[in-house]
Amino acid sequence: MPLIELSGVDKTFTVRRRTGRLRRARQVVRAVGDLSFTVDAGELVAYIGPNGAGKSTTVKMLTGILVPSAGRVRVDGLDPARQRRELAGRVGVVFGQRTTLWWDLPLRDSFDLLRRLYRITPSRYRANLDRYVDLLELGPLLATPVRQLSLGQRMRGDLTAALLHDPVILYLDEPTIGLDVTSKAAVRAFLAEMNRDRGTTILLTTHDLDDVERLCRRVMVIDNGRLGFDGDLTALRAHAAAERTLVVDLLAPAPPIELPGARVVRVDGPRQWLSFPAETRAAPLVAAVMERYPVADIALREPDIADVVARLYAESSRRA
């Protein structure tokens, strides 16, 4: 049985917009429409989409903060809308833009409070705390009030807080936002390890496509409240009709290469960039170029995932 199950989930809001000085017009906004997907235990899934696509709404429904207008949601066999508190004990959440820790209390106090709230047995608490403090290098920070921590340090604190009670699922809402490169890498490595060694299922919403590329095996793209894509990265690239690039270094500057199935997009002295559809096999093209032109060097570039996703968003907003 899948760990997370959504079927036919709708979420509509009635928003009152001001139209003029005193009048308010009622507008029905469908944040999520007919959303269905499943996530099995042990998966590491990225959930991406443009702003306002319905990502946070989905996560809120999965955690029970919001109640769906229609459809069915089951997480670990429980209905988040009705069994919120029971589910809360099995789930960990990390919000990128606000902390789950208590702002004015030292880190250690926050963890201790969580131990009591989640009813963690003392031995388990000790073990976990030591493990995460070690892994995330929180040792010297334990006595510091959370408000004095840097963003990266606070994120590590939040990760610990979310995992102390050994949740089966971890939701992360934009966890790497605002972090520097080293911190991002550290967070990703940590999450990968959690998923690999502890089997924690992870659902990650993000705008940082590096997160997607380096961490997740599966990607779900949501736009305008609907699931636009659900698959792995290769499929994502193919789906968005992305193009691969052949970078050819000729021996000397020459007019644009002519090659059936590819087109030259840029020329800079002896170097030329040729784009061709991602599904086309590269080997025959390479062979053809090498046969017909004096080539000093040749390289193959995969489509930039940012391009891929941008294309996907553009396509679905065209459709909408």
Partner 1 sequence: MAEPAELAGPEDPAVLVGGTGATRDVDRTGPVQTAGARPPGAVRTYLMLVRMWTRASWQYPTSLLLLTATQLLATTMDFATILIVFAHTRSLAGFPLAGVMFLYGTSATAFGLADLAIGNVDRLGRHIRLGTFDVMLVRPASALAQLAAEEFSPRRVGKLATALPVLAVALTLMPVRWDAGRVLAVPVMVGAATLIYAALWIIFSTTQFVAGDSPELLNTVVAGGSFLTQYPLAIYGREVVRGLTWVVPLAFVNWQPALYVLGRPDPFGLPAALRFASPGVALVLTALAALAWRAGIRHYRSTGS
Our CB check for partner 1 shows the closer of 25 and 314 to be: 25
Tell me the closest approach of the beta carbon of residue 233 to partner 1, in angstroms: 28
Our CB check for partner 1 shows the closer of 87 and 274 to be: 87
Tell me the closest approach of the beta carbon of residue 17 to partner 1, in angstroms: 15
Question: Which residues contact partner 1 by CB under 8 A?
Answer: 13-14, 57, 60, 63-67, 69, 81, 84-86, 88-91, 93, 95, 97-100, 102, 104-106, 108-109, 112-113, 116-127, 130, 143, 165-168, 198-199
Our CB check for partner 1 shows the closer of 90 and 271 to be: 90
What does the alpha-carbon distance between residue 260 and residue 57 come to, in Å, rounded to a whole number?
A: 46
Tell me the closest approach of the beta carbon of residue 24 to partner 1, in angstroms: 14
Our CB check for partner 1 shows the closer of 171 and 276 to be: 171
Our CB check for partner 1 shows the closer of 57 and 205 to be: 57
